[in-house]
Structure 1
Amino acid sequence: MLDGVTADQTPDQTPWWTSAVVYQIYPRSFADSNGDGVGDLNGITARLDHLARLGVDVVWLSPVYASPQADNGYDISDYQAIDPVFGTLDDFDRLLSELHARGMKLIMDLVVNHTSDEHPWFVESRSSKDNPKRDWYWWRPPRDGFRPGEPGAEPTNWESFFSGPTWTLDETTGEYYLHLFDRKQPDLNWENPEVRHAVYDMMRWWLDRGVDGFRMDVINVIAKDPDLPDGALTGTSGLGNGYPHYGTRPRVHDFLQEMHREVFAGRDGEYLTVGEMPGVTWEQARLFTDPARHEVDMVFQFEHVSLDHGPGGKFDPKPLDLRDLKASLGRWQTALRDVGWNSLYWNNHDQARVVSRFGDDRTYWRESATALATVLHLHRGTPYVYQGEELGMTNAGFTDLADLRDVESLNHYRHAVAAGTPPEVVLDGIHRMGRDNARTPVQWDASPQAGFTTGTPWIAVNPNHTWLNAQAQYDDPKSVFNHYRRLVELRHTLPVVALGDFHMLLADHPHIYAYQRELDGTRLLVVANLCGSEQSAELDWPEAEVVLSNTGELRWEDGKITLGPWEAHVLVHDQ
């Protein structure tokens, strides 16, 4: 972790990650080396040439720690051990060494809002009310007037991120423990300094091993209001919104500043810290990423990936209005212009595939995949590429409950159907927005199981791998992969991409996304039609060199630009 970005810095004064691109690997689904159907560390190592060819600078590795896998590794039972399904510590060290040899860095997923209920800390904590680790987690007796296990006996009415209440009764002691996510993911009590310093010890252990930083899972919810008050009732579940009592509480800044002092301060090396922060606002993000405050380098915010959520939430999607997207991303660009830094993403392990969600994965698959990539990558910020995104991988099309693996989707189905929603309606929402869409195996080639495994994959391979795969794209200059490769190269070679000022153009146009970047006399224009019909607009811009296009020839006459379906161009003008 270095000092961050302020408006008056020159390119040679800014942190290395301003011109870097990060690639996220979800290990279960990347590459399987031993035929057991689950991706592993040796599989990743064997595919590093793919990342080198793409040109990325950093790999973010989703959890590979020991875990019962209730939430695919985000339920950790030992922070300093590799789960056998992924390999060994020796395998990890080999992967780290091979990445460093290729000039790439590795950041780990830091999941410290909660552990697994099988972590030794929790096993001790639940063993008795007077155990020394009892206060390492959030325990509460039943609500006054209720017996343990009675309906309504939960200490608060909060609703879990994964549906249902956030409290589970432990029969041993007759008390409830808090879990904002699955019942097998009890929340740590960050008010206890012993908890915090155990986490810092673990982080130092990984940094000493050679890792280059951390992506911090839901880090803005670690600070709870110790009174744990009820939340306002939401929807038809009968449960309340607890977010105001645990989301971005003032104490989280104290914790992150302490983490910086204890873990990063005085340590040699170039580290990256990014905090995943559901519900964070741009005002709060300025505080988190202000370099003078020593908290994190950048945050993952969720505003732009919530714009297609309907009245019923994520699983009740609505069409995206491009003007809302421009207003959202533009607002974040402006807000973090003079202090702090943006992270840029469409996809990750929690989001449906962008080409199916915001694009057209049928008629204009290649065009929409590359247009969306162009628009995102050339904003000011650090881009994140999620595995398979660089190939234009699409949603899986799951229609059968038996094909699903994701705990969030399965819990949602159970609770929504029990509440009276027709099963076919629930499945349609999961089909379009479920996290399993992002977790199908990477499509390496057209062979059986897409070259991911020689065995039976833990989740089904997308049938379209016979034509949509890496091998088919490497030597095709117009492929999605090579378009991503050129976008990465532009960030590396043009300072205006990394550090240029940002100005949104055509803010009210319903289909064209256009913006300008400017630095030291160099101007860069990004213009893209994000719909399936031809669009035109008045656009006053000087003659310039076209440095990247995804389709067709640039049509610009008398100050009017015309773009075909999902057509995108990048132009540079030097004064």
Structure 2
Amino acid sequence: MPRSHSLRLLPVLALTACVSDPAPPPPSLPPVELAPPAGNEWYRHAVFYEVFVRSFQDSNGDGMGDLPGLISRLDYLNDGDPSTTTDLGVDALWLMPVFDSPSYHGYDVVDYERINPDYGTLEDFERLCAEAHRRGMRVILDLVLNHTSSQHPWFVDSASSRTSAKRDWYMWSDTDPNWAPPWDTFATGSTWHPLNGAYYYGVFWGGMPDLNMKTPAVREEVKRIASFWLGKGVDGFRLDAARYLIETGGGTLGQADTAETHAFWKEFAAHVRNVKPDAVLVGENWSTTPTIATYYGSTDKVPGGDELPLNFNFPLAEELLKAARTGDGNGVALKLAEMRSRYPKGVADAPFLTNHDQVRVATQLAGDQGDLTTVASLLLTLQGSPFLYYGEEVGMANGTTNNDEAKRTPMAWDSSAGGGFTTGTPWFPFSPGRESNNVAAQSNAPGSLLSRYRALIRTRHASEALDRGGLKLLTSTQGRAPTLAFLRTFGEERVLVVHSLSDSSKTAGPFELEAESAEVLFADPTVGSLVRDGGTWSVSLSGRATGIWRLR
């Protein structure tokens, strides 16, 4: 696929001579270096955009977003023209569940081959894929294999009789094994639910019974479903609740991260690679860094891992938000060091800020523009394949309720009554603050959050080192870090990235790097010139500023 944008680069700037009395360098420590992702697949360096179709754009006035509405907004995401700067420039869309479901969220599927009628038809979906591909974007689907709806025909059949042909498509017991949920040591209540004189297993709730992946027919059926959608133009899948697929007993050890779960993902990934070699699988493994690392699998025969080639980096997301709140990047530095020691070499990270299950980043950061600027800058300069959640780029906040719907409110396109989202009544109220946190208000404002996202994505795509390179941390992992600096490298290209995390001006460096000059790829107006003193460099930055230079 063609890159979304090229960037008009500023002229090469000679490094200024001499800094007076530079601070002493930090203690010598082993460098923290992350290798470039192995393999050339598109997804190892793509910028993804997560969309909740119900909340993105309504095309027929019923108050619910739909696929035709999403198609009408594709040019906002990527217009396919590298010479323009008015689109976001993302490379891929992740659609939250679009299959037929009785719920608003869609994570309880009743038909894996039918588009939710609220969203449109299969023909609408195929047109979406074609239009996205025409603009250089890929499309991945949320595929929920851990469980179905209790209304799914498979489960209805399975529950109908102990002798049903699909009885073993789900897990049944004559008595309640009384397994507590695996994600909380102190959780109470059983994950087994009574029905027709027996108990079935549903780790999340009774309305979503777990499929029994130990049954060969179930494994073959879900692989067939994956093939069906890949044949319709899909470029991969986001895999919900990937840690909880195959249980071997009660307790966390038996319900999460089992060897059998890993074995299935190897089997499923091999099937997907066989059907469409460059299709991506993205794992939702909400856990610690050591556990997430295991879901890449082995890199011995498959570059980037033989299980899931992308896995969401939940621990890093926490540290990015913490760095913005506290003005201290030490946690990010330490997390990068832990990734270096835990992740298999050459795998691709999937950094993000928040998603549909979390309080939105703008709410967590209390709408502070400095904080929002900081996390955007960090996310889009780190290694891997960053994921954006719809509305993050304009600072959309949570709704005013405490339910999950408040994390998934309609997109704010403008400040009108329908928000540019619908001509009817929105399915759920808009989040507060949309008078300024909307696309129309920020599109032509050079200092807006949206303008920053657009510029940083263009900058990323203009540099192979930023787009797909390795990372060498220049900030010490010891002590407080009011600035965060790293070197991104790919082939002969080297790019220096420096972030000021605090509200006050800081000097970053000195950095011992060999170069004669530097080319500005991105710099806030308050970023000073790189200054050279012998073999070291330093730079002064105002609060919350970012500078990015290609070294010569």
Which amino acid letter does the alignment assign opposite residue 181 of structure 1? F
CA distance in 2, matches of 1:355, 1:390: 10
1:513 paired with 2:513, answer: no
**1:304-315 alignment runs, 5 A limit:** 304-305=316-317
Match of 2:191 in 1: 167
Q: Is the 8 A contact 1:355 1:393 kept in 2?
A: yes
CA distance in 2, matches of 1:329, 1:441: 34
CA, structure 1 residues 224+9, in 2 after alignment: closer, same or farther (shift >3 Å)? closer
Q: Secondary structure at the match of 2:314?
A: coil
Among 132, 152, 176, the alignment partner of 1:99 is: 132
Match of 1:389 in 2: 392
**1:411-560 alignment runs, 5 A limit:** 436-506=405-475, 507=477, 508-540=479-511, 544-554=518-528
Match of 2:258 in 1: 249
Which amino acid letter does the alignment assign opposite residue 271 of structure 1? A
Q: Deviation digits for residues 97-156 of structure 1, max 9, x if unmatched?
A: 21122121111111000111111111111112222212111222334xxxxxxxxxx532
Among 196, 215, 219, the alignment partner of 1:192 is: 215
CA, structure 1 residues 59+190, in 2 after alignment: closer, same or farther (shift >3 Å)? same
Q: Deviation digits for residues 185-228 of structure 1, max 9, x if unmatched?
A: 11111111111111011111111111111111122321211xx2
Among 96, 107, 111, the alignment partner of 2:144 is: 111
CA distance in 2, matches of 1:309, 1:501: 23
Q: Deviation digits for residues 155-210 of structure 1, max 9, x if unmatched?
A: 3233678976342433412x222222132111111111111111011111111111
1:284 paired with 2:253, answer: no
Among 75, 80, 101, the alignment partner of 2:113 is: 80
CA distance in 2, matches of 1:334, 1:547: 31
Among 166, 170, 173, the alignment partner of 1:137 is: 170
Q: Secondary structure at the match of 1:372?
A: helix
Which ranges in structure 2 are unaligned for 5 or more consecutive residues? 1-33, 79-86
Match of 2:282 in 1: 274
**Distance apart, 1:405 and its partner CA:** 4.0
Which amino acid letter does the alignment assign opposite residue 491 of structure 1? R
Which ranges in structure 1 are unaligned for 5 or more consecutive residues? 1-5, 144-153, 232-241, 311-317, 407-435
Among 261, 271, 274, the alignment partner of 1:262 is: 271
Higher helix share: 1
Q: Which segment drifts farther, 551-560 or 454-463?
A: 551-560
Q: Secondary structure at the match of 2:434?
A: helix
1:564 paired with 2:535, answer: no
1:300 paired with 2:334, answer: no
CA, structure 1 residues 477+259, in 2 after alignment: closer, same or farther (shift >3 Å)? same
Q: Is the 8 A contact 2:180 2:187 kept in 1?
A: no
CA distance in 2, matches of 1:155, 1:321: 44
Q: Is the 8 A contact 1:337 1:501 kept in 2?
A: no
1:55 paired with 2:89, answer: yes
Aligned Cα root-mean-square deviation (Å) = 2.9
CA distance in 2, matches of 1:321, 1:179: 41
Q: Deviation digits for residues 517-563 of structure 1, max 9, x if unmatched?
A: 12334321222222334444443266533321345232666755443
Which amino acid letter does the alignment assign opposite residue 378 of structure 1? T
**Distance apart, 1:283 and its partner CA:** 4.1
Which amino acid letter does the alignment assign opposite residue 393 of structure 1? M
CA distance in 1, matches of 2:330, 2:196: 54
CA distance in 1, matches of 2:439, 2:217: 47
**1:153-164 alignment runs, 5 A limit:** 155-158=178-181
CA distance in 2, matches of 1:27, 1:333: 36
CA, structure 1 residues 337+568, in 2 after alignment: closer, same or farther (shift >3 Å)? farther
Q: Secondary structure at the match of 1:332?
A: helix
Match of 1:217 in 2: 240
Q: Secondary structure at the match of 2:200?
A: strand
Q: Secondary structure at the match of 2:114?
A: strand
Q: Which segment drifts farther, 117-126 or 524-533?
A: 524-533
CA distance in 2, matches of 1:117, 1:178: 11
CA distance in 2, matches of 1:75, 1:350: 15
Which amino acid letter does the alignment assign opposite residue 165 of structure 1? G
CA distance in 2, matches of 1:18, 1:199: 25
Among 338, 343, 353, the alignment partner of 2:345 is: 338
CA distance in 2, matches of 1:529, 1:394: 24
**Distance apart, 1:482 and its partner CA:** 2.4
**Distance apart, 1:64 and its partner CA:** 0.8
Which amino acid letter does the alignment assign opposite residue 172 of structure 1? N
Q: Secondary structure at the match of 1:569?
A: strand
**Distance apart, 1:388 and its partner CA:** 1.0
Q: Secondary structure at the match of 1:462?
A: coil
Q: Is the 8 A contact 1:155 1:176 kept in 2?
A: no
Q: Secondary structure at the match of 1:196?
A: helix
Q: Which segment drifts farther, 57-66 or 507-516?
A: 507-516
**Distance apart, 1:278 and its partner CA:** 2.0
Q: Is the 8 A contact 1:125 1:135 kept in 2?
A: yes
Q: Secondary structure at the match of 1:177?
A: strand
Q: Is the 8 A contact 1:7 1:337 kept in 2?
A: no
CA, structure 1 residues 135+26, in 2 after alignment: closer, same or farther (shift >3 Å)? same
CA, structure 1 residues 567+245, in 2 after alignment: closer, same or farther (shift >3 Å)? same
CA distance in 2, matches of 1:320, 1:552: 18
CA, structure 1 residues 567+7, in 2 after alignment: closer, same or farther (shift >3 Å)? closer
CA distance in 1, matches of 2:429, 2:181: 34
CA distance in 2, matches of 1:15, 1:368: 33
CA, structure 1 residues 132+155, in 2 after alignment: closer, same or farther (shift >3 Å)? farther
Q: Deviation digits for residues 54-91 of structure 1, max 9, x if unmatched?
A: 11111111101010116x11111110011111111122
Among 359, 369, 372, the alignment partner of 2:372 is: 369
**Distance apart, 1:321 and its partner CA:** 6.4
**Distance apart, 1:273 and its partner CA:** 1.6
CA distance in 2, matches of 1:38, 1:164: 37
CA distance in 2, matches of 1:171, 1:9: 48
Q: Is the 8 A contact 1:530 1:567 kept in 2?
A: yes
CA distance in 1, matches of 2:299, 2:64: 36
CA distance in 1, matches of 2:321, 2:179: 26
Q: Is the 8 A contact 1:35 1:453 kept in 2?
A: yes
CA, structure 1 residues 563+456, in 2 after alignment: closer, same or farther (shift >3 Å)? same
Q: Is the 8 A contact 1:289 1:297 kept in 2?
A: no
Q: Is the 8 A contact 1:514 1:525 kept in 2?
A: yes
Q: Is the 8 A contact 1:166 1:181 kept in 2?
A: no
CA distance in 1, matches of 2:270, 2:529: 54
Which amino acid letter does the alignment assign opposite residue 101 of structure 1? R
